[in-house]
Amino acid sequence: MVRFDIRPANQGGYLWRLLSDNNRTMATGADLSEDRADCLDKLRRAADAAASQRPRLVHEDDGTWSWTLYDGDDPVARSAAAYSRRIDCVHAIDRFVELCGELAPGAADDAVFRPARRR
């Protein structure tokens, strides 16, 4: 089962996450949103972009690998982790694309809103 959630970010604003069936964070939004409605729109945009194009591999300066999904020139989603091996990052991309393909139209409307964490 594919799930999204939207939660307050530590820096203020909101950020969405794509969760796999075992509750692992597979992807996050590329940038913060001012409110939940804007975050939900960005989540929909990322899901649509994943249907038409593949995320780009990024080899970071520290030698790790990550990926970013673009909609045109705008980044809309990022890998939730850095990977020490390129092949692990490629597998993460494959899983992300697969999960997005399992989304029914309008599935982003069912995103779970998480309360802010207590400090």
When the candidates are 2.30.29.80, 3.90.79.10, 3.40.50.1360, 3.40.50.150, the CATH number that belongs to 3-106 is 2.30.29.80
Q: What is the pLDDT of residue 24?
A: 86
Distance CA 35, CA 98 (A): 28
CA dihedral angle for residue 82, residue 118, residue 43, residue 35, rounded to 10 degrees:
-130
Mean pLDDT for the stretch of residues 37-65: 92
Higher pLDDT, 101 or 1: 101
Average pLDDT, the chain: 85
Of 40, 34, 25, 35, nearest to 78 by C-alpha is 25
List the domain boundaries for the chain: 3-106
Distance CA 49, CA 100 (A): 10
**C-alpha triplet 52, 43, 55: angle, nearest 5°:** 40
Q: State the pLDDT confidence band at 109, using cuts at 50, 70 and 90.
A: low
* pLDDT tens, residue by residue, 55-103: 999 999 999 999 999 999 999 999 999 999 999 999 999 998 888 887 6
Mean pLDDT for the stretch of residues 100-112: 62
Percentage with pLDDT > 90 across the chain? 47
Its pTM stands at 0.82
| Res 116 pLDDT > 60 | no
